[in-house]
Amino acid sequence: MGYGLLFDVSKCIGCRACEVACKQYNNLPLDSDLDRRHESTNWDTPAPLTGNTLLRMHYYTVEKGSKIAWRFVRRSCFHCERPTCEAVCFAHAFYKTPEGPVLYRRSRCVGCRYCMMGCPFSIPKYEWNELFPEVKKCRMCAPERANIGAPPACVSACPTRAVIFGDRDALLQEARSRIKNNPSRYENYVYGENEVGGTSLLYISDVPFEKLGMKTVKSGQITDRPVPAYTDRALKWTVSIAAVWGAALTTLYLATKSPDDESH
Amino acid sequence: MANIGTALEGKGFKSYDSLFGGKWYFRWTPYRAVALGLVGLLVFAIFYRLIRGLGPATNLNDHWPWGLWIAFDDLSGIALAAGGFFTAFMAHILNAKKYKMLARAALITSLFGYLIVSIGVLMDLGRWYNFWRPLVFWGYHSWLFVVLWCVILYLNVQVLQLGHIVFERVNVPKLKKIFDQILPALFVVGIMIACVHQSALGALYIAMIDRQDPLWWSMLLPLFFLLSAFFVGPAMCVVEGSLASKAYKMDFHHEMPLLVPVMKIGMWTMIIYFVLKMVDLAYRGYFMNMFAGTLESNLFLLEIVAGVIIPIILLAKPNEQQTVPRIVTAAVLMVGGLILDRMNVVFTSMGKAMGGHYFPHFIEFSISIGLVSFLLLAYCFMVENFKIFPDEHEHAH
């Protein structure tokens, strides 16, 4: 079924080693003014991803029982099982690999930014300071690492094993068994199992996902069907409707035409 | 070129005047000078955007990757060009002869509308030199793929349709014969493509499920876009007609017997559109959302009440009681309502999901305004040099 990642919110200590590793491994520069285009933020305020930051930790203070607690949550590409970016791209620049990662072919990209509009998680970002910008997003360190089963840079850097890498089915089993073995600690929900038809980045958490700024199927904020299922449902009618309409127009033309009329 | 060459030899080439039907001219007025200045600004803006890139030339950002160009030039512009396919439908498919002159004026605005949309969209593409790649790599699973094909095909079809008008004056009989013969096929294919294109623009937003406000998001978005383009067709004919009759000192009252019936068709289309939209909202369970009092719901109400309900009421009177101000008011409301609807689809409905903020850059405004100025100048040139308007003596009877 392909590789995936499992992020355990309860294990993350918010050290941002994964962020640093991602930047270093992918040779990503710091953001310029053009990349950001949003108000400067404090270090602990959720800042969005940019064309130079493909992985970012978002920090939240949540009420846990009577206490206030910090929780840290990973923001990066979900590598959907049926990605919206692939479906909306009219040049087929995005594609889901059998190994799991969703990858981008820069040579085909036209720069229409439909992927950025369509992505249910607002993940793809743009190189606004480039003359011919590329769309940037996490590639799960494929092809060179993920394809041989080696974990991506962020996983290697994680000191608490809050994020682990492996076969998606095995990770799903692992997530379920962690919840089963410790039901008082975990929320009984694997994020990414059903969201937009399933994603390769899975989450389990000890606080409700809604408090971490994530839309869940359970709360009805996000669909459990792949987005391409919706667009395809409309798309498959196009040719037949156009053909019928064309035939109808021709019939109408022939029916209303007067034989002596030559002027237009 | 070879065709023209042989045609010239056959005729015995005498002078350029006999070939082009006399000198072509363009009358200069202060307004047109301003428009030309704006076209100059457009050229500067295009160079700036091409040399510096999207980042410095626009205020688009990671929150708002689509902005003014998509909302105004593309979605609104294409819908406003709908007068072209609407009148072609009336005049050439239903063969209602009295609409043939109306269809000519609408073809000109539609053709140049599509031309400026193509330029605008090309500027919006980050890697514009790759624009042909979808044609090779067949991303058939994307609605944008459908849009691209429709723009390219319809642009070509309209240029070929224009051939009929151009060769009325340019004296190349062989070419004129070819263009006249393929005309009926061009009208059928053209209307077919135009309808698919209008729907496809709406269908682009199907992928924004759960991100777009449910007041607008619907599986029926393509149908809503098609219907609204269809009813704004006659409205654009009225707006263009009243502007043109002012500019060229023609009597607009003469056009009323032509325009009132098509506005009635527009009214019935609006009624269908309105009922469908309400039923769809009720079916999806978001009917009460429009009374929530939020910015989104208020703009939705404005779009529906001012752009659809009031025009329906204005047009509901019997044909004999319709007056010029009444028809023009209805048409202006319909056009304004449609632009608001497209703006709402691009901006208002996506605001919550996208976050951040966006206000168009000077260069973005320059390109949009400059393109419209170019459209106006091109329209004036065509009208003054080719047979677009009916001759005055035809009005007499």
- Tally of structural domains, chain A: 2
**pLDDT score, position A1:** 67
CB B237 within 8 A of CB B87: yes
- Domain membership of residue A263 (yes or no) is no
Q: Which residues of B touch A39 (CB under 8 A)?
A: none
Collect all residues of chain B within an 8 Å Cβ-Cβ radius of residue A247.
none
DSSP letters, A159-195, are: TT--EEEEEHHHHHHHHHHHHHH-TTTS-S--BTSSG
- Both A128 and A251 in one domain: the answer is no
CB contact under 8 A, A246 and B189: yes
pLDDT at A259 over 80: no
Same domain for A151 and A41: yes
Contacts of A257 in chain B (CB under 8 A): 95
Which amino acid makes up residue B224? F
Q: Are residues A110 and A231 in the same domain?
A: no
Instruction: Specify the pTM.
Output: 0.90
Same domain, A181 and A249: no
Binned at pLDDT 50, 70 and 90, residue A9 comes out as very high
Asked, for residue A141, whether it belongs to a domain, the answer is yes
State the DSSP H helix or E strand holding residue A95, giving kind and residue range, or none if neither. strand A94-96
Residue A52, in any domain of the structure: yes
Q: Can you tell me the distance from the alpha carbon of A104 to that of B205, in angstroms, rounded to the nearest whole number?
A: 22
Angle at B278 between CA B276 and CA B281, to 5 degrees: 105
Give the integer Cα–Cα distance in Å for B211 and B217. 9
Secondary structure (H, E, C), B20-53: HCCCCCCCCCHHHHHHHHHHHHHHHHHHHHHHHC
* Mean pLDDT calculated for residue range A229-258: 89
User: Quick one: CA dihedral B270, B305, B68, A113, positive or negative?
Assistant: negative
Identify all chain B residues contacting A241, using CB atoms and an 8 Å cutoff.
196
Mark whether A240 and A183 lie in a shared domain: no
Q: Is residue A172 in a domain? A: yes
At A83, list the tokens.
């990605």
ipTM of this predicted complex? 0.90
Instruction: State yes or no: pLDDT of B3 exceeds 80.
Output: no
pLDDT tens-place string over residues A126-170: 999 889 999 999 999 988 888 888 999 999 999 999 999 999 999
- Interval B268-282 mean pLDDT: 96
**Pick from B187, B110, B7: nearest CA to B382:** B110
The per-residue pLDDT for B251 is 81
pLDDT digits (tens, 9 = 90+) for A79-110: 999 999 999 999 999 999 999 999 999 999 99
Chain-wide mean pLDDT for chain B? 88
Question: What angle separates helix B221-247 from helix B100-124, to the nearest 10 degrees?
Answer: 120
CA angle, B170 as apex, B168 and B171 as ends, to 5°? 90
Q: What's the pLDDT score for residue B395?
A: 39
Q: How confident is the model at residue A43 (pLDDT cuts 50, 70, 90)?
A: low
Q: Which of B127, B180, B208 sits opposite A132 (nearest CB)?
A: B127
Looking at residue B396, what is its pLDDT?
A: 34
**pLDDT at residue number A231:** 92
Helices in B285-309 by DSSP H: which ranges?
Answer: 295-304
- State yes or no: pLDDT of B390 exceeds 80: no
**What letter represents residue B139's amino acid?**
G
Q: Does B177 touch chain A (CB under 8 A)?
A: no
Q: Answer whether B130 sits within 8 Å of A86, measured CB to CB.
A: no
Judge whether residue B359 has pLDDT over 80.
Answer: yes
Do A171 and A74 sit in the same domain of this protein? yes
Give the CATH number, domain containing residue A109: 3.30.70.20
Interchain CB contacts (distance < 8 Å): A and B: 187
CA distance A209 to A212: 5
Amino acid at B263: M
Is A264–B195 a contact, with Cβ atoms under 8 angstroms apart? no
pLDDT at A256 exceeding the cut of 60:
yes
Minimum mean pLDDT range among A11-15, A174-178, B38-42, B378-382: B378-382
Per the domain annotation, does A96 fall within a domain? yes
B394 versus A128: which is more confidently predicted? A128
Look at residue B9 and tell me whether its pLDDT is greater than 80.
no
On whether any CB of chain A is under 8 Å from the CB of B105, the answer is: no
Is A139 found in the same domain as A33?
Answer: yes
Asked whether residue B394 carries a pLDDT value surpassing 50, the answer given is no
Whether residue B144 lies within 8 A of chain A, CB to CB, comes out as yes
Which pair of tokens denotes residue A159? 């000191």
Question: What would the two tokens of residue B134 be?
Answer: 């979808």
Touching A: B residues 259-278, CB under 8 Å: none
Instruction: Spell out which residues of chain B touch residue A251, defining contact as CB-CB under 8 Å.
Output: none
Structural domain contains residue A264: no
Residues A249 and A146 occupy one common structural domain: no
Q: Which residues of B are less than 8 Å from A87 in CB distance?
A: 141-142, 207
Q: Is the pLDDT of residue B371 over 90?
A: yes
Domain match, A189 and A242 both? no
Spatial separation of the C-alpha atoms in residues A73 and A205, rounded to whole Å? 9
> Helices B221-247 and B324-346 meet at what angle, rounded to 10?
140
Please say if the pLDDT value at position B109 is more than 90: no
Whether A250 and A127 map to the same domain: the answer is no
Query: Which of A90, A125, A133 is nearest residue B145 as measured by Cβ atoms?
Result: A90
Domain hosting A158: range is 3-224
Can you tell me the distance from the alpha carbon of B171 to that of B181, in angstroms, rounded to the nearest whole number?
A: 17
Enter the tokens of residue B182: 């393929």
Contact B130 A252 (CB under 8 A): no
Say whether pLDDT at B362 is over 70.
yes
Domain assignment of residue A99, yes or no = yes
What pLDDT score does A206 carry?
93
Q: Of A50, A117, A129, which is closest to B65 when you measure between CB atoms?
A: A117
> End-to-end distance of chain A based on CA atoms, in angstroms?
61
Residue B371 structure tokens: 């393109």
- 3-class DSSP assignment, residue A252: helix
Shortest CA gap B326–chain A (Å): 31
A113 within a domain of the structure (yes/no): yes
Chain B CB contacts of A118 below 8 Å: 207-208
Same domain, A148 and A251: no
Q: Are residues A140 and A197 in the same domain?
A: yes
| Vertex B93 angle, CA B87 and B97, to 5° | 70
Asked if pLDDT for residue B6 goes beyond 60, the answer is no
Q: How far is B1 from chain A (nearest CA, A)?
A: 26
DSSP strand pairing (A163-167 vs A201-204): unpaired
In the structure, what pLDDT confidence band is assigned to residue B392 with cuts at 50, 70 and 90? very low
